[in-house]
Amino acid sequence: MANGSSRATTLTDVARLAGVSVATASKALNGRAGVRTETRERVVDVAKRLAFQPNALAKSLLAGRTGTVGLLTSDMEGRFSLPIMMGVEDAFGAARTSVFLCDARGDSIREQHHVDALLSRRVDGLIVVGSRTEPRPSLGRGLPVPVVYVYSPSDHPDDMSLVIDNVAGASLAIQHLVTGGRKRIAHIAGDPGYQATHDRARGAEAALDAAGLSLACGRIHYGSWTEAWGRGATRMLLADEPAVDAIFCGSDQIARGCLEVLRDQGREIPDDVAVIGFDNWEVLTVNARPELTSVDMRLEELGRRAAQRLYEAIDERMTPGVEMLHCQIVQRGSTIPLN
Amino acid sequence: MANGSSRATTLTDVARLAGVSVATASKALNGRAGVRTETRERVVDVAKRLAFQPNALAKSLLAGRTGTVGLLTSDMEGRFSLPIMMGVEDAFGAARTSVFLCDARGDSIREQHHVDALLSRRVDGLIVVGSRTEPRPSLGRGLPVPVVYVYSPSDHPDDMSLVIDNVAGASLAIQHLVTGGRKRIAHIAGDPGYQATHDRARGAEAALDAAGLSLACGRIHYGSWTEAWGRGATRMLLADEPAVDAIFCGSDQIARGCLEVLRDQGREIPDDVAVIGFDNWEVLTVNARPELTSVDMRLEELGRRAAQRLYEAIDERMTPGVEMLHCQIVQRGSTIPLN
DNA sequence: TTGTATGCGTTATCAA
DNA sequence: TTGATAACGCATACAA
């Protein structure tokens, strides 16, 4: 019985060996009433001995449900889709629902292929994960299964979308710094070609405003999502406004670059300058010196929520519109309060 | 026709609307001979109009093949499993085969659940991705489908395993440094609890030996897979052997720490000291200052190869044993040759 | 060229 | 308590 050489056992095999009909065997194994205990035990026993696994295809064909969902992503890094997938598995219960993961690699043709393949496999629902916060083209509303858009909302208001509240997340970051006693707070933003960049900038400004503070340096610095930009911007910042005592960075990569230059220039962190990032990407935050405080987007929770929404929609309870999830601060060494 | 509200169209629907029998409709859509052109066109037309997607469940039930594979991982980061999955999708052709991704989270109970679920879904094969190079327990040879173990080999010689040649990869790294004219080469290794650590150390020593060199500092430094360890080890190294002119690090994280301390102590990279990492994890290598040369494990290729092996095995052509893939150097700014 | 009938593996209904 | 049978959606062998 080497791998692949043996046909999978069917209910018929079990029934025959147990000396009953398939109907009885089915009832016995599914715990349905109306089967003698002794018979049930015999059937169960045989099933176990043959390592019988009921054919989910046949079941699904009959039930009209497969217990599978498609997760459509375009994020090669897996930075977003994997935590989200964990959340999905979690919420559904790994045993009951399996996830098809498909990567469209940013190509809409390939995406359509995947959608077709998933639909023909009769997934119960689709989760579409984007890697940018700008709205993405809807898959349309003619699909035979519900769809939840995650991270990137759909551009159609009748779809269900689940997104991160970047504005509030950035406000949280600023509030965290303000609570720590910081007065001269600067913001190094990411790529201005991203909506997330502007949302975070907006959130930062609003929170500063609310705290009666204004931006150190008078303006926000826009650049890219790289450490190199973090380094360059920090140098500029220190030249323009040497008295800066806190920096909110638009991403953890930027923050890493920022930390490096601050250290190079002899600033103590967090005593002289506090630094906070965004994303809470552990390989970056935990390895930083000192460890980097960051805004966590709670992607797993996002995945769990998506699974919930999908589950409800499968049961015909759609909740169209965009739902926002809030972020949370994960505090580490780069922002110990002054006091 | 909102999401989820409409039943999927079946071949029967198409046949009825086209005014033919299901058999004729089937033949027409599958390009089988024996159907009048005019009829075929009518059927195809109707199918298109109804957005008909043949039910893969029914097809599979009949064919005994599902065109799906299960990818079993235990690597939450996705550092390994995602590139491997890309390779798999690639090799199979995204349209023909879909991948169930399951994360066991290092728990063997959960793993068994996933295996059961996948088998009951009648996947055509299983790919088991580990995150360490030590052999892992075999799923056994009684399974009705072929299994390929990737990155972590199975502990049973009759299984098919696909692994990285860490020994040769480390040798490559050393050769790269030697070719660049380096004479006093040190190695900062990772966590001694990992077999990969010792394999890489062995490969490094062999290559040094072959080049007639010996380890700068006389010994290998073992620690952990962190930047902090990279920093600490580099400090020790520079104290013990200030003349070191190249450092091979057991991982990119270690290398990042190493680079940082070298810069802190005023060493020019790569002029004074060349540094090479292992993993080629882009978020780390490309953002480093200077950008980090690293050993790439070609995980996508590993995935493609796994898909191939699986595909062959599904067609009853098993190739048991452990196959090794070689690594390759990706050169960046941290190792420009001296000359 | 077209249609009818059968089977894939399962569950549910109903008759025995 | 058990078993025969009809679905589920499709492809195919065979009859018309």
Q: Which nucleotide is nearest to B8 (CA to C1')?
A: D9
Footprint of strand D on the protein (CB under 7 A): A 19-24, 27, 33-39, 58, 61-62, 64; B 10-12, 22-23, 26-27, 29-30, 32, 52, 54-55, 58-59, 61-62
- Torsion, Cα B243 B249 B254 B259, to 10 degrees, reads 40
* Residue B2, C-beta contacts closer than 8 angstroms, at least 6 positions apart: A141, A158, A318
Question: How far B280 CA lies from chain A's nearest CA (Å)?
Answer: 13
Q: Which nucleotide is nearest to B57 (CA to C1')?
A: D9
- pLDDT of A65 strictly over 70: yes
User: What digits encode the pLDDT tens for the residues A197-210?
Assistant: 999 999 999 999 99
User: What digits encode the pLDDT tens for the residues A261-289?
Assistant: 999 999 999 999 999 999 999 999 999 99
Q: Do residues B69 and B122 make contact, with C-beta atoms less than 8 angstroms apart?
A: no
Q: Which ranges constitute the DSSP H helices of B131-165? A: none
Of residues B4, B146, B228, nearest to A145 (C-beta) = B4
A55 CB-to-strand C distance under 7 Å: yes
Q: Which nucleotides of C are covered by protein (CB under 7 A)?
A: 1-5, 7-13
Give the whole-angstrom CA distance, residue A202 versus residue A179. 19
* Residue B63, C-beta contacts closer than 8 angstroms, at least 6 positions apart: none
pLDDT, position A2 = 39
pLDDT, position B279 = 96
DSSP B160-212: EEEEE-HHHHHHHHHHHHHHTT--SEEEE---TTSHHHHHHHHHHHHHHHHTT
pLDDT, position B128 = 96
Q: Which nucleotides of D are covered by protein (CB under 7 A)?
A: 1-5, 7-13
Q: CATH homologous superfamily of domain B11-54? A: lambda repressor-like DNA-binding domains (1.10.260.40)
pTM of the model: 0.94
Give the whole-angstrom CA distance, residue B275 versus residue B188. 10
Q: Is B115 left (phi over 0), alpha (psi -120 to 50) or beta?
A: alpha
Which residues of chain B from 266 to 295 reach within 8 Å of chain A, CB to CB?
Answer: 281, 283-284, 287-289
Backbone angles phi, psi at B309, to 5 degrees: -55, -45
User: What digits encode the pLDDT tens for the residues A299-316?
Assistant: 999 999 999 999 899 887
pLDDT band, very low/low/confident/very high, at A1 (cuts 50, 70, 90): very low
* Residue A94, C-beta contacts closer than 8 angstroms, at least 6 positions apart: B102, B110, B113, B114, B117
Q: Which residue in A327, A159, A186 sits closest to A248, CA to CA?
A: A186
Mutation target for A interface from B57, B100, B229, B291: give the one with most A CBs within 10 A. Answer: B57
Sheet strand arrangement including B328-330: B185-188, B246-249, B274-279, B293-296, B328-330
Please indicate whether the domains covering B11-54 and B68-164+299-325 agree at the CATH topology level. Answer: no
* Residue B41, C-beta contacts closer than 8 angstroms, at least 6 positions apart: none
Partner B contacted by A62 (CB < 8 A) = no
Give the whole-angstrom CA distance, residue A226 versus residue B312. 43
pLDDT, position A235 = 98
Sheet strand arrangement including A246-249: A185-188, A246-249, A274-278, A293-296, A328-330
- pLDDT of A40 strictly over 70: yes
Average model confidence (pLDDT) across chain A: 93
Q: Do A142 and B114 touch (CB under 8 A)?
A: no
The strand pair at A185-188 and A160-164 is best described as unpaired
Average pLDDT score over residue span A159-168: 97
User: What digits encode the pLDDT tens for the residues A114-137?
Assistant: 999 999 999 999 999 999 999 999
Q: CATH homologous superfamily of domain A166-296? A: Response regulator (3.40.50.2300)
- CATH number for the domain formed by residue range(s) B68-164+299-325: 3.40.50.2300
User: What digits encode the pLDDT tens for the residues A218-253?
Assistant: 999 999 999 999 999 999 999 999 999 999 999 999
A51 CB-to-strand C distance under 7 Å: no
The stretches in chain B having pLDDT less than 70 are 1-6, 94-95, 337-339
Average pLDDT score over residue span A88-99: 85
Element (H, E) at A38: helix A37-49
Q: Do residues A104 and A74 make contact, with C-beta atoms less than 8 angstroms apart?
A: yes
pLDDT, position B339 = 61
pLDDT, position B337 = 66
Partner B contacted by A76 (CB < 8 A) = yes
Q: Which residue in B22, B24, B23 sits closest to B41, CA to CA?
A: B24
Which residues of chain A from 98 to 157 reach within 8 Å of chain B, CB to CB?
Answer: 98-103, 110, 113-114, 116-122, 125, 141-147
User: Domain locations in chain A?
Assistant: 11-54, 68-164+299-325, 166-296
**Tokens (6 digits) for A204:** 């930062």
Q: Enumerate the β-bridge partners of residue A295.
A: A278, A329
Element (H, E) at A110: helix A108-120
Which chain A residues are within 8 Å of B225, Cβ to Cβ? none
